[in-house]
Chain A
């Protein structure tokens, strides 16, 4: 193993009866990184996390933590701790005893336990709440207690199963920042399961995107957004307009393509794509299309169409444009700079796109 890696997962598979929940999972996690497993409901994220925690055995492959093979090591002996989706706060214990629960097995003195509990509660900003009863806690406080109870064990890896999904939007956003800060301060590896793309992007160093038990792509958030490996990943993270294209020439990491509606463009070859072909699929993010009543200057490709829908989001306005020769409408997102909605349904508009905004998604047949 490389000493950069804290978790190494290779060829892991999990079946429930005849159903394969996770297949051929290969993943190396670096020391001190914040990693998120992102995917739709039922894709196997929790199952993968529970195999790392030791609550579920893998049918194939191997998992090692900190260089040690986990095959014969039960959950209570692994150097990883878990924050459960329901938080699993022990209802019969107060906050202090909840946090001290795991410490009691370590043979520490009473005074030591007390200091470490106070320290852990301080970390999650619950200092002094030791004697508060479990049923007197708010949702956010329960989440913090669960976090403190796991962190007090000083694990090498912290596993979190949708830790914020039970909180309301404002609290969730505040906790995202706080957890990220805590993780960076402690330098512990966090592995978080989530189905919320924004949560994954704002918190993580790297994200693994999962579909139907398989890891589709593992990358930094900005790379996932700019260079998704296929249509599925591209549409799961952010919005995306998909267009058909024909490759007409390539060389030097670039290729010339004829894009439906926009015509000839020269785009970068996406290194994450597995299979290329002359029949390509390309994508353009809605916020990277320019829209105007007049033809805008300085773009590499243009298209004229009619506004079929306007949706006002507050911070931005989304226009849907129908154009001749395109099967689907194109979405365009315009930041709300001046409190104006410039185009109405039925207006004829110009769209402009730059070469750099067009994302190569590989052979159309393999989507």
Chain B
């Protein structure tokens, strides 16, 4: 606070920055309650009808189901892969470890459009038609860096002698993993599931290229924005998704903190 009174312009800058970042996001829920189809001030009146109308839209619900399926499968696959990769990265020293870690993290910095178009070309040349399966494959690729880094922090403060102790007490390798490793990194697993699900659920570019005629929710929303009459519906849907995402990430953060504390 002292800093802020000494440099008032710093305070102004911080506020302006936050407004610029979050105002558009806050406008979304605001206009979803507007009794009118035109998104502009002044607003006409308060209504919940756009929310009520969501339930009746067949294709929207189908897109929602698609997104849930893709999100859940992606979360499960990416988290399982991340779990084993992270354990290896933290525990073992092996040839090509740095290279492999770098490659896993690469999707964070490659432009999505490049990944999307090259994946489309690859899948088609392999004879895989664009479908939810191809979206899942793309999303696992995107979500893996998140899963690996969350699971790495779960393994970072995991005392290796816990696994040795279990093995020493007569447990098998698989039994040790099930009875000791899994329960101890469980909070990390939950955090990773939630984050990777969110990554997949929100993703647009890959889904747009790879989903064919089975649109996910973001792809569906994009297609609706062209119709002004549908826009308020979309805003209502977007507001709900925003709320769900925030809740999901808060839960994930809670579990991530628990996982670093428990070890």
Chain B contact residue count (CB 8 A cutoff): 19
Given contacts A86-B159, A92-B183, contact A101 B164 (CB under 8 A): no
Residues of chain B within 8 A (CB-CB) of A55 are 164, 168
Total A-B pairs, Cβ < 8 A: 60
- Name B261's closest neighbour in chain A (CB-CB): A135
User: Could you tell me if A105 and B171 are in contact, using CB atoms closer than 8 angstroms?
Assistant: yes
Residues of chain A within 8 A (CB-CB) of B167 are 74-76
Given contacts A84-B161, A92-B183, A92-B184, contact A53 B168 (CB under 8 A): yes
User: Could you tell me if B171 and A101 are in contact, using CB atoms closer than 8 angstroms?
Assistant: yes
- Name B175's closest neighbour in chain A (CB-CB): A105
What 1/0 mask marks residues of chain A from 147 to 162 whose CB sits below 8 Å from any chain B CB?
Answer: 0011001000000000
Query: What's the Cα separation between A55 and B159 when bound, in Å?
Result: 15
- Judge if B180 is at the interface, Cβ distance under 8 Å: yes
Q: Out of A88, A92, A102, A149, which one reaches B164, CB within 8 Å?
A: A88
The residues in A between 79 and 126 inclusive whose CB is less than 8 angstroms from any CB of B are: 81-82, 84-86, 88, 90-92, 101-102, 105-106
The residues in B between 139 and 187 inclusive whose CB is less than 8 angstroms from any CB of A are: 159, 161-162, 164-172, 175, 179-180, 183-184
Q: Out of A53, A92, A106, which one reaches B170, CB within 8 Å?
A: A106
Query: What's the Cα separation between A81 and B170 when bound, in Å?
Result: 9
Given contacts A88-B159, A90-B162, A92-B184, contact A81 B169 (CB under 8 A): yes
Residues of chain B within 8 A (CB-CB) of A92 are 183-184, 262
The residues in B between 191 and 235 inclusive whose CB is less than 8 angstroms from any CB of A are: none
Q: Out of A53, A76, A88, which one reaches B171, CB within 8 Å?
A: A76
Given contacts A55-B164, A84-B164, A90-B180, contact A102 B159 (CB under 8 A): no
User: Could you tell me if B170 and A88 are in contact, using CB atoms closer than 8 angstroms?
Assistant: no
User: Could you tell me if B169 and A149 are in contact, using CB atoms closer than 8 angstroms?
Assistant: yes
- Name A55's closest neighbour in chain B (CB-CB): B164
Q: Out of B161, B168, B179, B183, which one reaches A86, CB within 8 Å?
A: B161
User: Could you tell me if A102 and B169 are in contact, using CB atoms closer than 8 angstroms?
Assistant: yes
Query: What's the Cα separation between A76 and B174 when bound, in Å?
Result: 12
Interface size grouping (class) on chain A: 20 to 34
Residues of chain A within 8 A (CB-CB) of B168 are 53, 55, 75-76, 81-82, 150
Query: What's the Cα separation between A77 and B172 when bound, in Å?
Result: 9
Given contacts A90-B180, A91-B262, contact A76 B172 (CB under 8 A): yes
User: Could you tell me if A153 and B170 are in contact, using CB atoms closer than 8 angstroms?
Assistant: yes
Q: Out of B165, B184, B262, which one reaches A82, CB within 8 Å?
A: B165
Query: What's the Cα separation between A88 and B167 when bound, in Å?
Result: 12
- Judge if B263 is at the interface, Cβ distance under 8 Å: yes
Interface of chain B: mostly helix, strand, loop or mixed: helix
Query: What's the Cα separation between A42 and B165 when bound, in Å?
Result: 22
Query: What's the Cα separation between A53 and B183 when bound, in Å?
Result: 25
Query: What's the Cα separation between A74 and B176 when bound, in Å?
Result: 14
The smallest C-beta distance from B140 to any residue of chain A, in angstroms, reads 29
- Name B180's closest neighbour in chain A (CB-CB): A90
Query: What's the Cα separation between A86 and B164 when bound, in Å?
Result: 12
Query: What's the Cα separation between A234 and B177 when bound, in Å?
Result: 46
User: Could you tell me if B166 and A101 are in contact, using CB atoms closer than 8 angstroms?
Assistant: yes
The smallest C-beta distance from B23 to any residue of chain A, in angstroms, reads 45
Query: What's the Cα separation between A55 and B167 when bound, in Å?
Result: 9
- Name A149's closest neighbour in chain B (CB-CB): B169
Query: What's the Cα separation between A213 and B171 when bound, in Å?
Result: 31
Residues of chain A within 8 A (CB-CB) of B170 are 76-77, 102, 105-106, 153
- Name A99's closest neighbour in chain B (CB-CB): B169
Q: Which residues of A contact B (CB under 8 A)?
A: 53, 55, 74-77, 81-82, 84-86, 88, 90-92, 101-102, 105-106, 149-150, 153
**19 A-B pairs with C-beta separation under 8 A:** A53-B168, A75-B168, A76-B167, A76-B168, A76-B170, A81-B168, A82-B165, A82-B168, A86-B161, A88-B165, A90-B180, A90-B184, A101-B166, A101-B169, A101-B171, A102-B169, A102-B170, A105-B175, A149-B165
Given A76-B170, A90-B162, 9 more contacts at CB 8 Å? A55-B168, A75-B167, A75-B168, A76-B172, A82-B164, A90-B184, A92-B184, A101-B171, A105-B171
